[in-house]
Structure 1
Amino acid sequence: MTAPPHAAGLAPEPLAYPFWTTEGLGLPDAYRALRDRPPARVRLPYGDDAWLATRYEDVRAVLSDPRFSLAEAVRRDQPRIGPMPRAGGGLIALDAPRHTQLRALLAREFTARRIERLRDRVHRAADGLLDRMTAAGPPSDLVEDLAFPLPMTLICELVGVPEQDRSAVRAWADTVCSGKVTPEVVQRHAEDFFARMHGWIEARRRAPAADLITVLVRAGDDGDLTEDELTGLVNELLVGGFVTTTNQIANFFAVLLLPGEAGTGGPELLAAVRARPELIPRAVEELLRYVPLLNGLTLPRYATEDVELGGVLVRAGEPVVVSQAAANHDPGAFPSPDRIALQRTGTPHISFGHGIHYCLGAHLARLELQVVLERVTTRLPGLRLAAPEEELDWRSKEFFSGLRALPVAW
């Protein structure tokens, strides 16, 4: 068997990164150029050079192979798009077995059966927001009036954040997800946010409630997690619990409202979903696959030993980043990947990840997306953009892709 090129010491010159486009939701062409190649070496704006995996099988391998460590990245000069490295705390900074132990404290709260019990609550919350929109009349910003407050309210209720502190949660999430703020700004927001969080935790020690902070406080009091682990998990639940869903709600409706080529969304797809609401669960899964939410890459994983990956040898101590968006558009896994096919079956998308770090809140995100799609198509007939396409404000070179605002009328 021929050794991978890198095994012979021929480390390739890194490609400039990032590959993402400045606007829109299409997969950058640079990823298509890498489809038939082994993992490439890339250089991000900050941190170590890394291997980039884009093919579906290679991405799944990295996400599930314990020899690729997320915890190791906390101790390294991790490749990243912004100046601030990812700090420790939360599940995304841990490997097994500690990751498995802490995840088990919360996993029972996020099972499919338990989350399904929230459907009526999500339905009422969506209708309440739509009531406000219809009472005010068009136009409305679908991001500010629906996509942000719905998942934000629900995760804050589940976690146990007092209503008066929810604006601080949003400010913190905006800070850590932007990729553009200075370390000084991050530090200032962190001091405020974590001071508030400690207040919530102490309040639950004095007066337990039916929320996730109480679950974690009890685990801490029983010696199952440290105080730093407790605050890390609360932080991760809050930021991860609404930011991705907020962006995907807006992204989904951008796909449904913007004119596209045949098979790529647009009013025809919107009409199909409105006419046949039973298609909504399939539509959510296909849109999760189709829309590249993460701007290019996931958090880095470091090889803890030499690992052969897709035809190259990743040396121990070298980082790997993966593009779930590129993997979801791999024609080897998804026939005609750049088309939206509501009847698509077979290979599952990996938008929620794979392996032990599969998204804890995947069932909640699916539920919220399904309810929003059903309620909006039911409540807002004739939904359309209320601004020219060229005036839409797209995120650029941030952690998540999508729109800052989505003006709509109906």
Structure 2
Amino acid sequence: MNDPTQEPHFLQDPYPAHAAVRSISPVRPASGGRPGYLVTGYAEAREALGDARLSKDTAAFFAGKGSRRRLHPAVAHTMLAGDPPQHTRLRTLVTKAFTTGAVARLRPFIARVTDELLDRWPADGTADFVAGLAVPLPVIVICELLGVPQADRPDVQRWSAQLFAAGEPDVVDAASHAMADYMTALIATKGRDPGSSLLDRLIAARDGADHLSEAELVSLAVLLLVAGHETTTNALGNALLALLQHPAALDCLRAKPDDIPAALDELLRFDSAVSTATFRFTTEAVELGGTEIPAGVPVQVALGAANRDPARFPAPDRLDLDRNATAHLAFGHGIHRCVGAPLAKAEVEIALRAVLTRFPGLRLAVPADRLEWRHTRLVRGLTSLPVLIG
């Protein structure tokens, strides 16, 4: 059969294609010229994400293979591209910034920024939810957390978006250097004039007993900047679109906004902000879902597909806010599960509550099939979401 994941409409709605592939096998060789294996089943995806035999050490995988790419090492070799014990040491340094308690202390700031952004929306007419809230809110929050000056935040957001420019390797490579060079300069500035941000605390760790190297520090800073808002931006747009397309669910949350926290897991499951988990490869032969995967080949774990697996979530294409979807894989699973998940959920919750409360008549301004999705298979998010107010 033709590969349905290569069809032109795949980015618009990837889930029928994922279902077609999964119906053949939840684990099968990737097609369309892509190397390795594709995992679309939930049980198999969860197993793969937790299997230590699937390494994320990209440096080891690509060593000696040669490449024309010129990604900055701070982007090519982040905490996401490493295995224990290095990964464990780096993750431990940042986890405390995203605990439930730490996020709770950020909630008033998130709510204030949300209100300030929504104050700029028109009283009636059309607004772009992505440009007007989903992009700036997470950027402002993570930049505030890291101590990025306000004047620099538009550049940071632009470089981050360019890092996901599928099919434009030169753009991606240039953005990686711009981001890394900026963070190197910011770290130097903070080293001379320390503050109290998360980045300042990481600098102290570099200079203290944790022996964080300069390269590791820059890499962590870049990763936190990019991952700290990209996922949330996409999750916000996807969640609001899902609600606008499901009026009964939307009406329920409008009537009872206190139910929004309980609805988040189902919204995250229904349309995952990350389509495919970051790079993994087998360090030895691995049997997964009855399929033998040879050693030394990439394994693509399709998180969005796994979250629509009917074997785990009955009627998976239906948005059901009463469903217990806490086991979704939108944030990954295992030791590489998104460290910023608590912050992302808080931002989505606060933003949705504000929008649904302040704009009770909100609705789509264009047919859903005319919305444009970002041209990348790694993340899933809208380039814009025009809504009518009033």
Superposed displacement of residue 201, structure 1:
0.2
Match of 1:175 among 157, 162, 166: 162
The two structures have a TM-score, normalised by structure 1, of 0.86
Counterpart of 2:136? 149
Q: Distance in 2 between matches of 1:110 and 1:306?
A: 36
Match of 2:250 among 251, 254, 270: 270
Counterpart of 1:5? none
Is the counterpart of residue 256 in structure 1 residue 222 in structure 2?
no
1:289–1:349 CA contact under 8 A, matched in 2: yes
Superposed displacement of residue 360, structure 1:
0.6
Q: Distance in 2 between matches of 1:28 and 1:332?
A: 15
Q: Distance in 1 between matches of 2:271 and 2:370?
A: 20
Superposed displacement of residue 43, structure 1:
3.4
C-alpha distance after superposition, 1:92-142 (max 9, x if no partner): 11101110011001111111121112111111111111111146x431111
State the secondary structure of the residue aligned to 1:65. Answer: coil
Q: Distance in 2 between matches of 1:92 and 1:19?
A: 30
Q: Distance in 2 between matches of 1:23 and 1:315?
A: 29
1:178–1:399 CA contact under 8 A, matched in 2: no
Counterpart of 1:328? 307
Matched AA of 2:198 = L
Matched AA of 1:323 = A
Superposed displacement of residue 227, structure 1:
1.0
Q: How many residues align?
A: 383
Counterpart of 2:61? 75
Counterpart of 2:182? 196
* Unaligned stretches of 5+ residues in structure 1: 1-12, 259-265
Counterpart of 2:273? 293
C-alpha distance after superposition, 1:203-262 (max 9, x if no partner): 21112212111111111112522111111111110110111111121111111223xxxx
Which range is displaced more, 372-381 or 206-215? 206-215
Matched AA of 1:270 = L
State the secondary structure of the residue aligned to 1:108. Answer: helix
Counterpart of 2:46? 60
Is the counterpart of residue 98 in structure 1 residue 60 in structure 2?
no
Write out aligned runs for 1:21-170 (5 A): 21-25=9-13, 27-35=15-23, 37-43=25-31, 45=33, 49-72=35-58, 75-76=61-62, 88-134=76-122, 137-170=124-157
Counterpart of 2:230? 243
2:4–2:10 CA contact under 8 A, matched in 1: no
2:243–2:250 CA contact under 8 A, matched in 1: yes
Structure 1's 273 and 346: CA in aligned 2 closer, same or farther, altered over 3 A?
A: closer
Superposed structure 1 runs of 4+ greater than 4 Å apart: 13-20, 82-87
Structure 1's 189 and 52: CA in aligned 2 closer, same or farther, altered over 3 A?
A: closer
State the secondary structure of the residue aligned to 1:40. Answer: strand
1:55–1:330 CA contact under 8 A, matched in 2: yes
Which range is displaced more, 329-338 or 151-160? 329-338
Which range is displaced more, 366-375 or 194-203? 194-203
Matched AA of 1:55 = G
Is the counterpart of residue 348 in structure 1 residue 336 in structure 2?
no
Which range is displaced more, 13-22 or 306-315? 13-22
Q: Distance in 2 between matches of 1:351 and 1:234?
A: 23
1:353–1:359 CA contact under 8 A, matched in 2: yes
The two structures have a TM-score, normalised by structure 2, of 0.91
Superposed displacement of residue 16, structure 1:
8.1
Is the counterpart of residue 282 in structure 1 residue 262 in structure 2?
yes
State the secondary structure of the residue aligned to 1:364. Answer: helix
Superposed displacement of residue 75, structure 1:
3.1
